[in-house]
Amino acid sequence: MSLLEIDGINSYYGDSHVLFDVSMEVREGEVVALLGRNGAGKSTTLLTAAGVIHPHSGAIRFAGKTITRSPTHEIALLGLQLVPEERRVFGGLTVDENLRLAAFSASSPWPVDRIYEVFPRLAERRRSHGRHLSGGEQQMLTIARALIRNPPLILLDEPFEGLAPAIVQDLLRICDELARQGQTMVIVEQNVHAALKLCQRVYILNNGHMVYHGSSQQLLDDHDTMSRYLGL
């Protein structure tokens, strides 16, 4: 069943046309990677799906409901959670307070203890303020804040950017376990090989145009496309 349908959207930043008739589909229970070079329009696609940017044309449907012009908070309440590239943890709140605040408006949130089972490092730092966490710990907290709301769909924008290899491996393991449990995710990531380890299907954007769709294995076998659009 299609959980997210993006149908021919055109998005702008001011007068700059950024996305051109972009379409993609995310089915329930799968992990989809959205790849492309810097400036291709990947983050803009996620921001448009989450309601941060409204498209000039096209349609977006989530769980069968049209959300094309819906405000961000309504989309979040429906269960589409964006994990932004900037992380945006509350530096003056502890890990525990960040999590409980995120869970406050969710209809059926995870227990905090379940989050700490998934992220044992956060359990160790539960009384630490957000500003005192490492970059990797902040990223874990950002993902955990989305997850505690028990969302049908999580959009991950560059979750591994700027992190040490050991932290990337920890996050990959966590995301892989979530995928095995049936969590639907869309991942935008410059670390192509990390993204391909997680996903079943891949879309590639180039200069705001969708230029490729296939399985992760099909892309790995397509050296010309990997080189042309991803520089690999």
> For 128-147, what is each residue's pLDDT tens digit?
999 999 999 999 999 999 99
Q: Tokens standing for 130?
A: 């957000």
pLDDT at 18 over 90: yes
What is the Cα–Cα distance from 95 to 138, expressed in whole angstroms?
A: 9
Task: Identify the pLDDT of residue 1.
Answer: 76
Q: What is the pTM of this model?
A: 0.93
What SS3 string covers 194-229? HHHHHCCEEEEEECCEEEEEEEHHHHHHCHHHHHHH
150: pLDDT confidence band, cut at 50, 70 and 90?
very high
H or E element in which residue 44 lies? helix 42-49
Q: Are 185 and 177 in contact (CB under 8 A)?
A: no
pLDDT at 163 over 90: no
Place of tokens 């992990």: 31
Task: Identify the pLDDT of residue 44.
Answer: 97
Task: Identify the pLDDT of residue 208.
Answer: 97
Task: Identify the pLDDT of residue 225.
Answer: 96
Question: What φ, ψ does residue 102 adopt, rounded to 5°?
Answer: -65, -35
Sheet holding 2-13, edge to edge: 16-27, 2-13, 57-62, 65-66
Parts of the chain belonging to CATH 3.40.50.300: 2-79+152-230
Mean pLDDT, to the nearest integer, of 148-171? 92
pLDDT above 90 as % of the chain: 88
Q: Three-state SS for 107?
A: coil
Judge: domain 2-79+152-230, CATH 3.40.50.300.
yes
What is the Cα–Cα distance from 65 to 129, expressed in whole angstroms?
A: 38
Q: Tokens standing for 13?
A: 């930043």
Residue 91's nearest CA partner among 50, 47, 52, 142 is 142
- Per residue in 66-111, pLDDT (tens digit) is 999 999 999 999 999 999 888 889 999 999 999 999 999 898 999 9
pLDDT above 70 as % of the chain: 100
162: pLDDT confidence band, cut at 50, 70 and 90?
confident
What is the Cα–Cα distance from 40 to 206, expressed in whole angstroms?
A: 5
Task: Identify the pLDDT of residue 85.
Answer: 84
Angle at CA 208, nearest 5°, toward 203 and 210? 30
Task: Identify the pLDDT of residue 201.
Answer: 97
Place of tokens 């955990």: 144
What is the Cα–Cα distance from 112 to 160, expressed in whole angstroms?
A: 24
What is the Cα–Cα distance from 118 to 174, expressed in whole angstroms?
A: 7
Mean pLDDT, to the nearest integer, of 194-221? 96
pLDDT at 232 over 80: no
Task: Identify the pLDDT of residue 175.
Answer: 92
Q: Are 90 and 98 in contact (CB under 8 A)?
A: yes
